[in-house]
Structure 1
């Protein structure tokens, strides 16, 4: 992927409206930041071990913000059954304003749930007390993805204030369980299909090239995650009495896990594929700065650095259930449980990738050990079609807001539900945007939002609304 050549404006919104949008964004920005801070104060972690009341409170707060715009005919908090029908998913917020006079409809997506904060001592400030230092706002969810929520809310406010009455159709879906595998997502789409149907979908859950350069995400790796149980003993045994003759579960785990990587750290699992992408230049120094690579530690893998992140598979052990050091005794560990998280290159089916990884582990298991597999999650990779009118309009809006054209990027992370959006709305054009920058540290301690990036992202979306409202009939929009 390379930096695109600007195509020139596809639509020409009223210059007075454009100026009024810029003024509205400037004037409303302090209030937008205050509203974002209020959302960050709600610890809306959607994982089962956390209080679901906080997620419900967050949904109610988002719904109130959307109602206060005065734009939507309907704003509601709704829930859907998870895929297996066993329980309801976390509360999501929907809103709708029908299009008029042949204008297109845009669906705005973000999520109001957040990752767990982790250890308080790893944070420089309290994770759920938003704190501004310089040009960054710190707090869990400040970037991922409550800033995405507020980019939508702020853009709607600014556009509505500048344009007055308008014909563009708007639908909103603010999810409440994206950080817990979007388990009710597919059912929610089916149950609310008529409300959410759109010509273009803006997924505000990605990042930008840097704090001065916008980006459109056009490639996302898929995801496969699962637990492996490795059991060698009926019970723990004295390591002095039996060590050297009896394989314990930790030994078996270390041996089997190590087979998943080559000596250079690249993935060594047959059946996992790579994608043919052309990333822009990105050197080791930039990787070290953005990832926090410790001095002396070398990068892993082969090929260009961004191809390793965007276009090749990766496998990470994200957790191990075993005795901790404080409680270690001189025993052979009978069972170990490991969580494995794999990222799958665009173009490969997640189910095929899981089958390949499982087959590899089963074949590599030492000492006759039989592995158990459980809690499997699979999410499909995605490649964006960049040839549509909505992408062209977005490029123009971003160029106007940022003062430079956006770069097409891939993302090593995954947004599996996009494949479900495509399945439910096959004619809609998907636009993956976001408010993050390379130092946002989403999912990590000291997550933060660059306020300049946030303001330009918000302005881009408001200007995009103006461009789409000026397009005229959606039937002439190649098509809507």
Structure 2
């Protein structure tokens, strides 16, 4: 163990330098104008894996963004681990909201700031550190799957898993793309919400109208779509869409005070829904308006506009069906069109929720490795976010243990401004994965 710790400490500066190179690539998979950047990100990931001594590294795609697959053959009698992360990132949300340039990795107060530093190029960097700690000769078989479209719902992942089933077959699948319980305390994620989205378009008029000449009788699309979107929740903030699955999880000490501190909800603003915070976050559906097309305030005129549209994101509770949930949302929107306005719904991508166990010798080895590296037992917890590939992989490789680990913490602000990676926790995550590989060889 002391040799592994020394090796991780030796490799960390170089790994962080390479993470800085990765953060500099603007691999926003949702932006058609960034396709070259996503390709460049995959190329750098492949280059870094080859640099560990791996001879089997391929960039693959099945009608979508590029993924990287690599393979270190297992020594005789040893199990095989597949390590997952993704190299694509979210849009910045506007550079003006960032304290420092979003694609320039910047260290400040013990954290590394930059888009993707935590989600999930930092996750790939954990794998890189563990492989380098063993000099590119891990004590067990290791496969890597570094995806390039996780941030858009992994639309071609199913096809990729089918096409490369033999290349990804393993005994343990490690997904380093979740969140830890808190700074200094690791977690294994055992449940995930699924996802679905759609774009709803509402039409009220066949052309714009003067708001004084026709207002008060003729409906305008913006007011109508606001009324429609308001039907998605009841007065307490519970999701009001019929037919969505909701469940309950184990009792967890997740207080309202902690949630407010982590989320930044303003003091006088109420929280949505009813029941324990952990159930609302992890085991109930959530519906959010994540985009709205309408005339901007700075361009506003006294005009009734004929159409408006919104993008709606749905998080599907564990145990639910993502496709059925999207149909339920579509039916709700169509049934609640105000004043007879025309509502059309364009379905988007879906991804399944996941319920994962933590049983068996591989899970026990992971617990011991993480407790040794972090100095505290890992917490089993749910996650309100979505990793569609978790359940897809569990279905594609029956019998494999699926372990979801993390480099993020509640203050990493993934998908938001000033995304960051806690450098102390990053070092512990690298050490824990190296201990895991060694423990599996034991």
Do the structures match in fold with TM over 0.5?
A: yes
2:124 matched to which residue of 1?
149
Match of 1:376 among 314, 327, 348: 348
1:37 matched to which residue of 2?
20
CA distance in 1, matches of 2:186, 2:368: 11
2:46 matched to which residue of 1?
63
Structure 1 unmatched runs, 5+: 1-17, 82-88, 471-480
CA distance in 2, matches of 1:165, 1:353: 45
Matched, 1:48 2:35: no
CA distance in 1, matches of 2:398, 2:208: 54
Match of 2:306 among 326, 334, 352: 334
Matched, 1:95 2:70: yes
Runs of 4+ residues deviating >2 angstroms: 48-51, 164-167
Contact 1:76–1:94, Cα closer than 8 Å, also in 2: yes
- Once the two structures are superposed, residues 272-304 of structure 1 have per-residue CA deviations (whole angstroms, 9 ceiling, x without a partner) of 121220142111221111111122112121111
1:50 alignment partner, SS class? helix
Contact 1:66–1:75, Cα closer than 8 Å, also in 2: yes
Contact 2:86–2:150, Cα closer than 8 Å, also in 1: yes
1:329 alignment partner, SS class? coil
Matched, 1:401 2:376: no
- 440-449 vs 175-184, which deviates more? 175-184
**Residues 206-225 of structure 1: pairs in structure 2 closer than 5 A:** 206-225=178-197
Match of 1:312 among 284, 306, 313: 284
Q: CA deviation at 1:60?
A: 1.2
* Number of residues of Structure 1 aligned to a counterpart in Structure 2: 442
Instruction: Note closer, same or farther for the CA distance 1:101–1:364 as it changes in structure 2 (3 Å cut).
Output: same
2:247 matched to which residue of 1?
275
Instruction: Note closer, same or farther for the CA distance 1:314–1:385 as it changes in structure 2 (3 Å cut).
Output: same
CA distance in 2, matches of 1:58, 1:466: 29
CA distance in 1, matches of 2:363, 2:225: 47
1:103 alignment partner, SS class? coil
Matched, 1:121 2:96: yes
Q: CA RMSD in A?
A: 1.3
2:223 alignment partner, SS class? helix
Matched, 1:355 2:327: yes
CA distance in 1, matches of 2:172, 2:33: 34
Matched, 1:138 2:109: no
Contact 2:326–2:347, Cα closer than 8 Å, also in 1: no
Match of 1:287 among 228, 241, 259: 259
1:217 alignment partner, SS class? strand
- Once the two structures are superposed, residues 217-262 of structure 1 have per-residue CA deviations (whole angstroms, 9 ceiling, x without a partner) of 0010111110001111111111111111111111221221111111
Q: CA deviation at 1:152?
A: 0.4
2:346 alignment partner, SS class? strand
